[in-house]
Amino acid sequence: MNPNPSATAFTAALPLAPLGDDTLRQRVQTALDQKTKPQGSLGRLEALALQLALALNDEQPQMLQPQLVVFAADHGIAAQGVSAFPAEVTRQMVLNFLAGGAAVSVLARQHGLALTVAECGVAADFDPHPMLAVLKVPGAEHGTADSTQGPAMSRAQCEAALQHGRHLVAGLPGNVLLLGEMGIGNTSAASLLMTRLTGEPLVHCVGRGTGLDAAGMARKVDSLKRALDRHAEATAPLDALAAMGGLEIAAMVGAVQQAAASGRVVVVDGFITTAAVAVAAALQPRLADLLARCVFAHCSQESGHARWLQHLGVRPLLNLDLRLGEGSGAALAWPLLASACCILAEMASFQSAGVSGRQG
């Protein structure tokens, strides 16, 4: 699969599909309240059902042909020793995804999720595969440059990666996009974007990634400080993304934008996928409407993730101490979305079941 975006003029944001209105909200809430249970007794599952109904603009939403896309790319900053694993692991894991051996591969099979691997700039060339979408950007075919030495990408390369992500999602079926990622060094890129977009001190945004020891953490923090200082003027979202981000993060930004424009639900995995959603939200004048389409699967062990979710004003479904990435948390949260829809569609009301409601 080799998407070829048309050469149309680049726009930073796309128009959003309409959400359900207050009338739909009231109808769905009434339906939930009349199910054979005390009101609110299914807790956050009820809130999730309402969110999905509004996001899909349907009183009885259905999750159709869910697509899990793992966006993969290499990062030049990995040369600074910011990861406990060597850079070649990105290539090796792409092969593992395609062979069906990765955690996300297992979970996708278990839950019937169509899996696509989007190769956005891995330092390798892969044989054609039905699950592989090649999204390489000219001049950055093997990954970004080292952001401690200069911009990770040019502005044109960043925009091209966004366009690739948009085009890929536009060509996928279904109404749900689950985000995953792979790239040695990408927690560094996400940490840099977090501190630049939120204003949080860098130390609140940097975690151990793939499992760095104390010396590795000190080296990572020092490297990120140098990158921040070098790109102090890159304050606008796209400028920060180009200067410090990753090709897979940029492609995910475009994927989120296209999903929201076409009325899909977006299931957000962990720290790096949150970075992509945060950039997309920062580019979107109707930020709240974009976030209303996003279901945040879990809060990862990466130390900055909880703070970033708080900045966005969102609450994740799960907290399982995950720190794998790949979309594994999104896949694990998927059954909750399916259950929320089933509750709306199949659970009886007090009236239809002939069950007495609450007295007084």
Model pLDDT for residues 247-256, shown as the tens digit of each residue:
999 999 999 9
> What's the CA gap between 259 and 327, in Å, rounded?
16
Q: What is the pLDDT of residue 209?
A: 74
Provide the pLDDT confidence category of residue 303 given band limits of 50, 70 and 90.
Answer: confident
Tell which residue, 26, 30, 29, 39, has the closest CA to residue 357. 39
- pTM comes to 0.95
The yes-or-no answer on residue 302 being catalytic is no
Q: What is the pLDDT of residue 343?
A: 97
Q: What is the pLDDT of residue 4?
A: 53
> What's the CA gap between 346 and 32, in Å, rounded?
11
Query: What's the pLDDT tens digit per position in 82-140?
Result: 998 999 999 999 999 999 999 999 999 999 999 999 999 999 999 999 999 999 999 99
More confident residue, 262 or 359: 262
Q: What is the pLDDT of residue 60?
A: 96
In the predicted model, is pLDDT for residue 6 greater than 50? Answer: no
Burial degree of 235 (CB within 10 A; 0-12, 13-18, 19+): exposed
Q: What is the pLDDT of residue 5?
A: 53
**55 contacts 344 by C-beta, under 8 angstroms:** no
Query: What's the pLDDT tens digit per position in 29-85?
Result: 999 999 999 999 999 999 999 999 999 999 999 999 999 999 999 999 999 999 989
Helices (H), the chain: 22-33, 44-56, 89-99, 103-111, 155-170, 186-198, 214-230, 237-244, 247-261, 271-283, 287-291, 305-312, 328-346, 350-353
Q: Domain ranges in the chain?
A: 67-342
**Quick one: tokens of 231?**
């790109």
**217 contacts 208 by C-beta, under 8 angstroms:** yes
In the predicted model, is pLDDT for residue 333 greater than 80? Answer: yes
Exposure of 279 in the CB half-sphere (CA atoms within 13 A): 37
Tell which residue, 277, 334, 240, 344, has the closest CA to residue 31. 344
> What's the CA gap between 299 and 179, in Å, rounded?
14
Q: Which CATH architecture has domain 67-342?
A: 3-Layer(aba) Sandwich (3.40)
Q: What is the pLDDT of residue 63?
A: 96
Query: Can you state the angle between helices 44-56 and 328-346, rounded to 10 degrees?
Result: 90
In the predicted model, is pLDDT for residue 261 greater than 50? Answer: yes
> What's the CA gap between 166 and 284, in Å, rounded?
15
Q: What is the pLDDT of residue 159?
A: 98
Provide the pLDDT confidence category of residue 360 given band limits of 50, 70 and 90.
Answer: low
> What's the CA gap between 308 and 198, in Å, rounded?
8
Please name the residues in contact with 279: beta carbons below 8 A apart, sequence gap of 6 or more: 193, 197, 237, 238, 240, 241, 245, 249, 253
Tell which residue, 77, 68, 181, 65, has the closest CA to residue 119. 181
Q: What is the mean pLDDT of the chain?
A: 95
In the predicted model, is pLDDT for residue 178 greater than 90? Answer: yes
Q: What is the pLDDT of residue 216?
A: 81
**Quick one: tokens of 110?**
């278990």
Burial degree of 245 (CB within 10 A; 0-12, 13-18, 19+): buried
Catalytic residue among 46, 119, 181, 326: 326
> What's the CA gap between 28 and 5, in Å, rounded?
38
**28 contacts 53 by C-beta, under 8 angstroms:** yes
Sign of the CA dihedral running 166, 168, 171, 172 = negative
> Across-strand partners of 349?
35
**Quick one: tokens of 122?**
């891995």
